Structure 1
Amino acid sequence: MTEYYKHESAIVDDGALIGSDSRVWHFTHVCGGAKIGSGVSLGQNVFVGNKVTIGDKCKIQNNVSVYDNVHLEAEVFCGPSMVFTNVYNPRSGIERKSEYRNTLVKRGATLGANCTIVCGVTVGEYSFIGAGAVVNADVKPYALMVGVPAKQIGWMSEYGEQLDLSLTGDATVNCPHTNATYQLIDSVLSKVES
């Protein structure tokens, strides 16, 4: 008996590792080499490749394909129909599996609905990618990114609240919801641990 829930229409190939309290919903396919943590939710019509790791408490909404060489740390949110890639310059008639680029999405990041994460980038912890954005370069921790191509327009707290800070300079601000303190030094934002 498994310790995770799997809908009867889902396919989980032999060898896949799925942690306890995870949920695999309708018409989802998990390949045999996948490593999925505890408390993960894989929505309807999700695909998870062989060379994929998904950390604890990630939420992957409907119609998302997590292709080989994509790695999600804990508590990543993948909005409905967002897109990952793993080949930078694909052609149908040319095999490029040896050219897969690694994509790393760090802890707590949010990837909005219909956004695209071009392969080979690192998306920083607790960053927030707006709906429909196209990310083609590394994203700083806590950065708020929107547009095509994505540009930083602000900063976000771990709670998901926009912080009242400029993009550059040195400053300190508190999250309007949790009152946690964040410090901007040399255009890098970090949470001040109390």
Structure 2
Amino acid sequence: MPVVNARIEAGADLPDPALVNLYGCAIGAATRIGPFVEIQRGAAVGARCRIGPLAFLCEGVSLADDVTVGAGVMFTNDRHPRAVTAAGTLMGPDDWTLETTRVGAGAVIGANATILCGLTIGAGAQVAPGSVVTRDVPPGAAVAGVPAVPFHPSSLPNRAEAS
């Protein structure tokens, strides 16, 4: 898996560059990228982010500084994905509309979450693992579920109390 035409700032940590697929993207300083991550052309990752193994950041995704993306997180960039046009020809770059997604500073996206395109996840927001985000998430909010809806993190059981 290649690292091609990627702008990677000083201090970024790719523990095993042979196990990532980075092309045409920008990676901020001191960001750590786990194995089997793909970050596509036109995606931007801020400084001091942590990208977990098997995450997929497609074209149009922008992460501010200090964002955590858990293992297996998937972003999308097309509201109406299709393989072929109405005429039956394979779709090309001019046959679809890129939808951008922005993630604010300090946001946390839990493992295996799916983020639909065209959304903003606000600064300091939390997305619970396994959630499917279909709407904007306000700054500081916490969301969970399919589809993701607001919840208060204090409603979760304390680990010490649960055992």
| Pairwise TM-score range, normalised by the shorter structure | 0.7 to 0.9
Provide the residue aligned with 2:51 in structure 1. Answer: 60
Equivalent runs, 1:63-78 vs 2, <5 Å: 63-78=54-69
Provide the residue aligned with 2:123 in structure 1. Answer: 125
Contact 1:87 1:96 in 2 (8 A): no
Provide the residue aligned with 1:11 in structure 2. Answer: 2
Provide the residue aligned with 1:21 in structure 2. Answer: 11
| Displacement over 4 Å in runs of 4+ | none
Structure 1 length-normalised TM: 0.71
Equivalent runs, 1:1-194 vs 2, <5 Å: 11-13=2-4, 15-26=5-16, 27-31=19-23, 33-94=24-85, 95=91, 97=93, 98-154=96-152, 162=153
Question: Share of identical aligned residues, percent?
Answer: 30
Structure 2 length-normalised TM: 0.84
**Aligned residues between the structures:** 146
AA of the residue aligned to 2:108: T
Contact 1:82 1:113 in 2 (8 A): yes
Shift of 1:93: 1.9
Shift of 1:11: 2.2
AA of the residue aligned to 2:151: I
SS, match of residue 30 in structure 1: strand
> As a proportion of its length, which structure holds more strand?
1
Structure 2 portions without partners, runs of 5+: 86-90, 156-163
Structure 1 portions without partners, runs of 5+: 1-9, 155-161, 165-194
> As a proportion of its length, which structure holds more helix?
2
| Aligned equivalents of 2:57, 2:67: Cα separation in 1 | 12
Shift of 1:91: 1.3
Contact 1:64 1:83 in 2 (8 A): yes
RMSD, matched Cα: 1.5
Shift of 1:25: 3.5
Cα distance per residue 1:137-171 (max 9 Å; x no partner): 100111110010000012xxxxxxx469xxxxxxx
Provide the residue aligned with 2:161 in structure 1. Answer: none
**Relative contact order, higher structure (CA 8 A, sep 6+):** 2
